[in-house]
Amino acid sequence: MYMDHLPPLNIGNLEIYPPIIQGGMGVRVSRANLAAAVANTGCVGVIASAGLGQYEDFPDAEFEKVNEEALRYEIRKARRLSSGIIGVNIMVALSDYENLVKTAVEENIDLIISGAGLPLSLPKYLNGKDIKLVPVVSSARTFQIICKRWKSHFNKLPDAVVVEGVKAGGHLGYSPDSIINNTAAGLEQIISETIKIADSFEPAIPVIAAGGIFDGDDIAHFLKLGASGVQMATRFVCTDECDAHNNFKLAYLNANAEDLTIIESPVGLPGRVINSSFVEKIKQGKTIPFECKYQCLKTCDPTKAPYCIAKVLANAAEGKMDESFVFAGSNAWRCNKIVPVRLLVDELIEELTLALSAEMLCL
């Protein structure tokens, strides 16, 4: 019914309406259940591939295989539950990145969204398939580097780009100082700079805004700035279908604005989490010795890391809150109820329609 008023997000031949991509959430927070529920509303549902397999229960030699099978399983499950658009999020920092990309391609996924590093060789694995490739960047310059590289090496450009601002959840592509001292460039600025580059191509590359987008007004704000759509993650945590344990969702519901805090993750990047006694201990220098059978992240040095981030995040998804922290976007404290995905998306469409029609009336 809103279709007459709101433009869909078009990525190649994919028509996404409303123009929302659910951000991939590792470890084991956005799996098939959430992705399929989101895809059933017309948005893009995204399975996060980080730490998907229960590889901690297997010998190290099976690490890649276990992750690969888990990704295959989740994609197939999502396809059974939805005929909508399903993507996977594959972080460049994962040591089995290549294998996960190849698996997603074999499974004919609709989109691969890839950040946490520069996905410079991503098109190499396409095998001629029409799978949409969407890098995640934190600056227009990074986007430009990726475009140049893909064009010269693969004669291909990104099908869309996600620009992730400093208010996002999980690992952030900004220096800890710039986040804490509030000196990082605002998402609005980076979006405008990225759109200039994206519009210089024929056809223009859709730019998708991410980080701190919470309601329909926020979506309208970025569409008015020229973004073609948004990626939202935090908002999808407090849904019935989100794959994380209820305790994970409760941490969001119980958080106050001042509970959102930044940690320096063993990955070498800052991460936004909800404060807890566990987080405080970590910040005071508590270490949790661990034996690493596989180095799951290229950027982690297990001999120096104070704790295993993959284990801590897996604990969070399993609801073991005393032994974990919860990744969250800066607006997580605004979540106040757990709702079905369909209800959340309907609410977002209504707010967005209102915000855009109010704008039309003012013209």
Ligand X SMILES: Cc1cc2nc3c(=O)[nH]c(=O)nc-3n(C[C@H](O)[C@H](O)[C@H](O)COP(=O)(O)O)c2cc1C
Residues that bind ligand X (CB under 6 A): 23-26, 29, 48, 50, 89, 91, 115-116, 136, 164, 167-170, 210-213, 231-235, 327-329, 331
Structure tokens at 6: 């709101």
User: Residue 94 or 355: which CB sits closer to ligand X?
Assistant: 94
User: Residue 63 or 236: which CB sits closer to ligand X?
Assistant: 236
User: Residue 54 or 200: which CB sits closer to ligand X?
Assistant: 54
Buried-exposed string 59-69: b where 16+ CB fall within 10 A, e elsewhere: eeebbbebbbe
User: Residue 31 or 303: which CB sits closer to ligand X?
Assistant: 31
- Beta strand residue intervals within 32-128, DSSP E: 45-48, 86-89, 111-114
Separation of alpha carbons 131 and 158, rounded Å: 11
Helices (DSSP H) in 114-171: which residue ranges? 140-154
Separation of alpha carbons 150 and 53, rounded Å: 30
- Cα-trace Rg, the chain: 19
Shortest distance (Å) from residue 256 CB to ligand X: 17
Separation of alpha carbons 140 and 33, rounded Å: 33
Shortest distance (Å) from residue 59 CB to ligand X: 25
Shortest distance (Å) from residue 363 CB to ligand X: 29
User: Residue 253 or 357: which CB sits closer to ligand X?
Assistant: 253
Shortest distance (Å) from residue 51 CB to ligand X: 8
Separation of alpha carbons 69 and 190, rounded Å: 37
Shortest distance (Å) from residue 39 CB to ligand X: 16
Shortest distance (Å) from residue 58 CB to ligand X: 21
Structure tokens at 130: 């029409």
User: Residue 170 or 216: which CB sits closer to ligand X?
Assistant: 170
Max intra-chain CA distance, the chain: 64
- Judge whether 48 and 35 are in contact, CB under 8 Å: no
